[in-house]
Amino acid sequence: MRIATWNVNSITVRVDRLAAWLERSGTDVLCVQELKCDADAFPAQRLRDLGYEAAVHADGRWNGVAVLSRVGLTEVETGLRAGPEFDGRAEPRAIAATCGGVRVWSVYVPNGREVGHPHFAYKLRWFEALTGTVAKDAAGDRPFAVLGDFNVAPADEDVYDIARFEGSTHVTEEERAALAALRGTGLSDVVPRPLKYDQPFTYWDYRQLCFPKNRGMRIDLVYGNGAFARAVEDAYVDREERKGKGASDHAPVVVDLDVDEDGSVPGGA
């Protein structure tokens, strides 16, 4: 089974690239973030024509998440349990589904904006809610993973120049502690460094030629439980998809699993 995560930065703008990538990559399950559309505007029929069911959590603002699957899609859950609100509303930033026996969460963690900003405090509360929501599945026996745009670089090496991020979000001790707490539920980073590139960044800003100069960050992550991690055969960042006109500012992160049709791991979980 091939599972991936991708912040597409507007699915309506990038639906042609998304469709082409799905066909080219042979992905079975895709966790998508930053849809930037209403649920009614989601290109469900276009994806059905390609063989994918979709579970969508979106409201047309700057958020929105989805899970696409061509191996079944059940047990859909939207939003975090006891999740925090921002400006009086619960944002559509998390959705879960079971696909071919593998349980996944697609998450779009709040950016945080600036250290000390109310959005930064919201980001930390959101992480707490995420950790509480996934703890049971993370400790379970079936393959389970949280995939998405975490808006945190786990280590200094996950940004192109840590000195340039001094005092900024995405690299603070508080955010990294939140990631550590999430891993503490029984999850691990299944896309280790290095991969097919010495610096497997997943995000490059559109400005200042960041992509050509490889001034990137690794903030799109796949955190899997023990059963998921044992099933991993390969993992990589599809950096090529960041190239060309109309690309998202994020690249897909892809994980290949050796699992049976019911999600069980050959040889036992």
Determine whether 170 is an active site residue: no
Q: Is 34 annotated as a binding residue?
A: yes
Q: Is 9 annotated as a binding residue?
A: no
Residue 183's φ and ψ, nearest 5 degrees, are -65, -30
| Cα–chain center distance at 208 | 25
Q: Is 7 annotated as a binding residue?
A: yes
Take residue 251 and report the two structure tokens written for it.
Answer: 């690249």
Take residue 95 and report the two structure tokens written for it.
Answer: 């959705």
Residue of 160, 223, 250, 256 marked catalytic: 250
| Cα–chain center distance at 42 | 18
Instruction: Round to the nearest angstrom and report the end-to-end CA distance of the chain.
Output: 16
Q: Nearest CA to 27 among 69, 73, 67?
A: 69
Q: Please state, in angstroms and rounded to a whole number, the distance separating the CA atoms of residues 20 and 232.
A: 25
**For residue 111, how many other CB atoms are within 10 A of its CB?**
17
Residue of 108, 122, 203, 223 marked catalytic: 108
- Region label for 53, one of left (φ > 0), alpha (ψ between -120 and 50) or beta (otherwise): beta
Q: Is 141 annotated as a binding residue?
A: no
Residue of 28, 137, 149, 220 marked catalytic: 149
Q: Is 234 annotated as a binding residue?
A: no
Residue 88: CB partners within 8 Å, gap ≥ 6?
Answer: none
Determine whether 160 is an active site residue: no
Q: Is 151 annotated as a binding residue?
A: yes
Residues flagged as binding site for Mg(2+):
7, 34, 149, 151, 249-250
Residues flagged as binding site:
7, 34, 149, 151, 249-250
Catalytic residues: 108, 149, 250
